[in-house]
Structure formats: structure tokens, C-alpha cells
Amino acid sequence: MTAEDLKALIRTVPDFPEPGIQFRDITTLIGHGAGLAATVDHLATRAERAGAQAIAGMEARGFIFGAAVAIRLGIGFVPVRKPGKLPAETIGVDYALEYGSDRLEIDPAAIRSGQSVVIVDDLIATGGTAMAAAQLLRLAGGTVENALFVIDLPDLGGAARLRAAGLTVQSLMQFEGG
């Protein structure tokens, strides 16, 4: 399936979670077996070309695509979690949200020093979570140069923000507007 075929599987929900937002719902894509498989294939090809030795995905939807890509490539998956979810000692970073802040954590033993880690997530909007994940993975000793997304919302500037920070960013599709 082409990226355009996959884009047609994304449902747009107007005015969710608030008026004026066009929510891009991936549940229709992940519920379509051939579409999900093709999405994972596209991401895995890009991750392999980027020299991925591990895949990192952010909670929660990044787990869906990131773990599938890691399985497809036969490499490890690093879950980037919300606070208090990992049973081992963790390292974490705080990052700003539009209205407040949040925190991401990982088990630092999940990454080898110098290991090439590719970030995979469902959607890039403002880029705050992906920037925090890259910072955290680097803090753990990983080399993070690439981030892959199913969907880019270019009007929100996240991909440009990641590129300005030195990351190579690729997405399978774009949707204009927020």
C-alpha cells in the first residue's frame, strides 16, 4: 500500500478534544490489517536505512508502531514511559507542554553506550515529546539522529523543531492544519 492509501485509512474527527481541532485518529489505520502491516513495513525500511540498532517509542501510541518496527527488524525496543511506570531505577527528563509540564522516563540499562536509536511515533505535532525523548535517550548514552512518524502536522512546527535540533525527520503522510 502506498502512503496515500494509508492516509485514506486515517479518520479525521472534527472538534476533538476541543472546538477547532481536527483530530487525526489512527485507530482506523491500526484496525486495518493490511494498512497496519504496510505502515510498519514503510517505517521499518526507513529505520533500517538509518542504521537503527534499537527503536524507541513514546507511550502510548509509539509503543504500537515502535515495537512492531523493532520486531520486523529483529532489534530491541526501548519504551519511553510516563513517570512511575517502570519497576527499575530510571532516568528522566521534564519537558514543557502548552499548559504545564510532563516527564518521560526510561531504564538506562536498556541502551548501550553509542547505540544508534531511532525514535518511532504515530504523530508529530509540536515536537515537545519527541525532543524530550531524544534528550533522554542521549542522556542514557544512545546516539539519536533519526525520528520517524506516521503522521506529521507541519502547521504545528514539530518536525521543523526537531530538524533545527539536528534530527533527521521523516513521516509517511502529512495533514495540513492542527
| 3-174 has CATH 1.10.1760.20 classification | no
Average pLDDT score over residue span 99-113: 94
Residues 48-75: pLDDT tens digits? 999 999 999 999 999 999 999 999 999 9
pLDDT at 178 over 80: no
Amino acid at 72: R
From the number of C-beta atoms within 10 Å of its C-beta (0-12, 13-18, 19+), residue 88 rates as exposed
Q: What is the DSSP string of 86-115?
A: -SS--EEEEEEETTEEEEEEE-GGGS-TT-
Please enumerate in sequence order all residues whose Cβ is within 8 A of that of 54, keeping only pairs 6 or more positions apart, or say none: 70, 75, 76, 77, 78, 110, 111, 115, 116, 117, 118, 142
pTM, two decimals, is 0.96
Just list the catalytic residues: 61, 98
Beta bridge partners of 168: 146
- Number of Cβ within 10 Å of residue 50's Cβ equals 17
* Domain coordinates in residue numbering, the chain: 3-174
pLDDT the model gives residue 50: 98
Residues 30-41: pLDDT tens digits? 999 999 999 999
Three-point CA angle 134, 23, 93, nearest 5°: 20
pLDDT the model gives residue 100: 82
Residues 118-154: pLDDT tens digits? 999 999 999 999 999 999 999 999 999 999 999 999 9
Banded pLDDT at 13 (limits 50, 70, 90) = very high
Q: What is the DSSP string of 132-150?
A: HHHHHHHHTT-EEEEEEEE
Q: Are the CB atoms for 79 and 54 separated by under 8 Å?
A: no
Which residue, chain included where needed, has cell 544508534?
116
Which residue, chain included where needed, has cell 509503543?
63
